């Protein structure tokens, strides 16, 4: 008894599934076009026939009447004024996209801001170099003994020629960075 209830329930559900599949298949068939191509061969497709196919060659399809012509409810060219009764005139495309233009403008502004920030960094570094060079020049001109470390880490006192070379180098830095 239990087995027969299960079988009858299974049969009912399988019939329901088959009916649903048949219904879906029938809607797919309704969206099929049938026409005769330019060489006289019958063509079946789910896409509309190309524009080169004359209306008399279209046999069936959505919006096609029995006589083989496309239904009059579908306008041939929807943008013509007689097909758009009471509609506002269509504006010609301007060729620019407002959102795209806004993004381009934002990118330019971001690039300019980045450039200004970079210039500010360079100006700050130059000002710091200028200040250091001026301090070094003041120290060199003071006549104090100055020492440097060589490659071995030994302390070497600068003589007059080395002091003059350092003074020349700091003058060049001051000339380039202190403007």
Same domain? For 173 and 112 the reply is yes
- The domain boundary, picked from 71, 91, 122, lies at 71
Split into its structural domains, the chain has a count of 2
Residue 134 has a pLDDT of 94
Q: Is residue 80 part of a domain?
A: no
In terms of residue numbers, what domain contains 62?
9-71
CA distances from 119 to 107, 114, 116, 175 (A): 18, 9, 5, 19
**Does pLDDT of 46 surpass 70?**
yes
Cβ pair 108, 115 in contact under 8 A: no
- Select the highest-mean-pLDDT range: 29-33, 112-116, 148-152: 112-116
- Residue-wise pLDDT for 104-145, tens only, equals 999 999 999 999 999 999 999 999 999 999 999 999 898 888
- The domain boundary, picked from 46, 71, 96, lies at 71
Q: Report pTM.
A: 0.40
Q: Is residue 90 part of a domain?
A: no
Same domain? For 120 and 67 the reply is no
Residue 57 has a pLDDT of 86
Q: Is residue 111 part of a domain?
A: yes
Give the mean model confidence (pLDDT) for residues 140-156.
Answer: 90
**Does pLDDT of 23 surpass 70?**
no
**Which residue has better confidence, 152 or 27?**
152
Residue 69 has a pLDDT of 44
Residue 73 has a pLDDT of 41
Same domain? For 60 and 119 the reply is no
The torsion region of residue 48 among left (phi > 0), alpha (psi -120 to 50) and beta comes to beta
Q: Is residue 53 part of a domain?
A: yes
Q: Is residue 99 part of a domain?
A: no
Q: Is residue 51 part of a domain?
A: yes
Q: How many CB atoms lie within 10 A of CB 64?
A: 20
- Residue-wise pLDDT for 83-111, tens only, equals 445 555 556 556 668 888 899 999 999 99
Q: Give the pLDDT band (50/70/90) at residue 16.
A: confident
């Amino acid at each position: 008894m239990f087995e027969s209830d299960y079988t009858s329930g299974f049969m009912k559900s399988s019939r329901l599934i088959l009916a649903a599949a048949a219904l879906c298949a029938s809607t797919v068939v309704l969206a099929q076009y049938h026409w005769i191509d330019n060489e006289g061969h019958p063509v079946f497709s789910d896409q509309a026939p190309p524009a080169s196919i004359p209306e008399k060659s279209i046999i069936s399809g959505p919006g096609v009447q029995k006589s083989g012509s496309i239904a009059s409810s579908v306008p041939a060219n929807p943008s013509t004024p007689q097909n758009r009764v009471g509609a506002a005139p269509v504006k010609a495309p301007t060729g620019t996209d407002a959102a795209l233009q806004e993004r381009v403008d934002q990118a330019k502004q971001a690039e300019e801001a980045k450039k200004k920030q970079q210039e500010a960094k360079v100006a700050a570094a130059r000002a710091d170099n200028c200040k250091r060079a001026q301090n070094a020049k003041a120290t060199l001109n003071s006549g104090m003994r100055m020492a440097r470390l060589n490659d071995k880490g030994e302390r070497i006192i600068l003589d007059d020629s080395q002091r003059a070379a350092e003074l020349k180098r700091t003058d060049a830095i001051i000339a380039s960075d202190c403007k």
